[in-house]
Amino acid sequence: MTGPLRTSAPSGVLHELAALGSGVVVHTEPDVTDAYRRDQASPFLVPAGTPLAVVVPRRTQDVARIVSVAARHRVPVVPRGAGSGLSGGANAVDGGIVLDLSKLRRITDLDPASMTAVAEPGVLNADLKAAAAEHGLWYAPDPASAAFSTLGGNVATNAGGLCCVKYGVTREAVLGLDVVTADGREHHLGRATRKGVVGYDLPALFAGSEGTLGVITSVTVRLVPKPPPPVTVVAAFTDLTRAGEAVAAAVRRTTPSLLEIMDGVTLAAVEAFRPQGLDPTYAALLIAQSDLGGEAGQEQAKAIEAMAVAAGADLSMVSDDAAESELLLAARRLAYPALETQGQTVLDDVAVPVGRIPDLLRKVPAIADRHGVTIGTFGHAGDGNMHPTIVVPHGDAAAAERAAHAFDAVVELAQSLGGTATGEHGVGLVKFGHGTRELGDTLDLHRRIRATLDPHGLFNPGKAV
């Protein structure tokens, strides 16, 4: 992948970056720059460039200075957090700068009375949760990568997670942002209040923009009271479609705090990887939780169980024991690691209307058969965001090519069901073609917005839109 051409010699750029002082570290060593070429997207799906330098600011005020240097020399900039993304969105651009924000990791304010926090982009999701918990509060967005993904990256991809069905994705938690635009200027977007309609909702625009509109240097988020321990529901099905129908019924009639599903392929992989005492012959396992607390939580959980039984569940149970609930949810948390033990994996990320989940679950196995691959499907059934995961043997080039075709077929299936190419991982490079086709007539509008903020196309070129 090639970014915009520089208008000056690399030595001039590097000299100016080095002159910024001790708050900025500039790496040009090949072993360092090579380590920053890719995120966690499957290498055979997307290319990666070779950066001119990796630049690491240690103070937020230095980000604007770095961007200003890049702008003067027309050098592309790829913002990067932990590099844990799965879409190639943080893959390097030839001759560009990788801007590593992971050292900006201060929580600069936490206001228990207003239930807000302000944090730098390198703060880990889990660390923000831990800081909020000290005040009886909770930061709700909970991607599976919470232990190692950064807040800035979560905002840039509008990350989701297990609790989105009730609490929404990252965008719903963001109140304000500090950003640096491509001209090197700093802007404060949004506000610290829960309500406010002065001006356009620019924080919402930047959430999910994948580093193409600006560099996030600070995030103001809303916190919520820490919910009570959940009541957990588990239901097993011998018919995949009936499991999907149970999901649709549960979402239509109630609001669980978590509603997850695993198909039989995934369930068998989990049981082989780390036995949970679950029957691997079931076609699907549904896991739901209610965090209402007390009698209300019990009633909601029992109502979800009744819907599962009415849809055709062959086995069901409800537990309010914290240790047992965590054990029951452990199977879902092990879904992807278990599939990884069976070969090279390609993790897809699509979302469909909740009512079309049965169709998706029914048709994915046909894609697996057609392309000669294994696909285990699991995901956030409560909001229709599913993760069909393709598994092929390691080191088999022909199988990797089949996996890439199956990956595309899954995306196209989701879109044909009225869904979208990505629910939470982002477009990046992996789904650039799918995303631009999905945008259709609005693609030009998206690109004009992008060009207004970045007229020279320096921020994360070739990604997202």
Provide CATH 3.40.462.10 ranges for the chain: 231-416
Residue 4 has pLDDT above 70, yes or no: no
Residue 369: strand, helix, or coil? helix
C-alpha 254/C-alpha 231 separation (Å) is 14
Provide CATH 3.30.465.10 ranges for the chain: 107-225
What pTM did the predictor assign?
0.94
CATH fit for domain 231-416, picks 3.90.226.10, 3.90.1150.10, 3.10.450.50, 3.40.462.10: 3.40.462.10
Q: So what's the pLDDT on residue 40?
A: 94
Residue 220 has pLDDT above 80, yes or no: yes
Residue 460 has pLDDT above 80, yes or no: yes
**Choice between 355 and 110, residue whose per-residue pLDDT is larger:** 110
Burial class (CB in 10 A: 0-12, 13-18, 19+), 198: exposed
**Choice between 49 and 7, residue whose per-residue pLDDT is larger:** 49
Q: Over range 16-21, report the average pLDDT.
A: 94
Residue 331 — very low, low, confident or very high, per pLDDT cuts 50/70/90?
Answer: confident
**Other Cβ atoms closer than 10 A to 310:** 12
C-alpha 459/C-alpha 206 separation (Å) is 13
Q: At what angle do helices 357-371 and 397-416 cross, to 10 degrees?
A: 150
Residue 8 — very low, low, confident or very high, per pLDDT cuts 50/70/90?
Answer: low
Tell me the CATH number for domain 107-225: 3.30.465.10
Average pLDDT, the chain: 94
Residue 2 has pLDDT above 60, yes or no: no
Residue 329 — very low, low, confident or very high, per pLDDT cuts 50/70/90?
Answer: confident
**Placement of tokens 């966690």 in the chain:** 40
Residue 9 has pLDDT above 80, yes or no: no
Q: What is the pLDDT of residues 367-424, one digit of tens each?
A: 999 999 999 999 999 999 999 999 999 999 999 999 999 999 999 999 999 999 999 9
**Choice between 445 and 8, residue whose per-residue pLDDT is larger:** 445
C-alpha 62/C-alpha 70 separation (Å) is 13
Handedness of CA 182, 186, 192, 193 (dihedral sign): negative
Say which residues have a Cβ less than 8 Å from residue 153's Cβ, sequence separation at least 6: 80, 81, 82, 84, 85, 90, 121, 159
Q: So what's the pLDDT on residue 233?
A: 96
Q: So what's the pLDDT on residue 5?
A: 45
C-alpha 38/C-alpha 31 separation (Å) is 13
Q: So what's the pLDDT on residue 243?
A: 93
